[in-house]
Amino acid sequence: MGIRMDNVGIVVENLTPVVEFFTALGLELEGRAMAEGEWAGRVTGLGDQSVEVAMMRTPDGHGRVELSRFLRPDVIADNRRAPVNALGYLRVMFEVDDLDDTLGRLYELGAELVGDEVVNYQDVYRLCYIRGPEGILIGLAQSLR
């Protein structure tokens, strides 16, 4: 049986600053499109829906993040500022070559560390969680090997 993960979805209020954030992180915009009509509502169970979608791809082509902005129906819950121990989907983790350089680019776009510092995990990784635009939680790791 073959399986591969295609993408992780994140619902946002405003696509443009979130696309800019993921671009600064190092992802590439694969495309933007509308997903609407009866077929889309049958897939999600939301009925008549209209969603603007931006697909972001990692440079190696193996991972994607699907950013969605719902125009219809209205968003009914907001979990963006949930603490890191909240139930459900929480964050996306990216491994980067240079954590300090990556953080510098993301800080310019308003990213903030969740904890007090970047931590060294057993001399294997430097790790941190950050909150980006709209409170999106991202994990960053730099291999020390």
99 and 139 fall within a common domain: yes
Token pair recorded at residue 90: 């929480």
Report the CATH number that the domain containing residue 117 is assigned in CATH. 3.10.180.10
pLDDT tens-digit readout, 41-95: 888 888 889 999 999 999 999 999 999 999 999 998 888 888 888 888 778 999 9
Q: Please report whether residue 86 resides in a domain.
A: no
- Residue 125 is predicted with a pLDDT of 95
Q: Which domain range does residue 23 map to?
A: 8-72
For 35-47, b/e burial (b = at least 16 CB within 10 A) is beeeebbeeeeee
pLDDT tens-digit readout, 91-129: 899 999 999 999 999 999 999 999 889 999 999 999 999
Q: Please report whether residue 48 resides in a domain.
A: yes
- Residue 44 is predicted with a pLDDT of 87
Q: Please report whether residue 58 resides in a domain.
A: yes
60 and 96 fall within a common domain: no
Determine the average pLDDT of the residues in 129-133: 95
How many separate domains does the chain show? 2
- Residue 83 is predicted with a pLDDT of 86
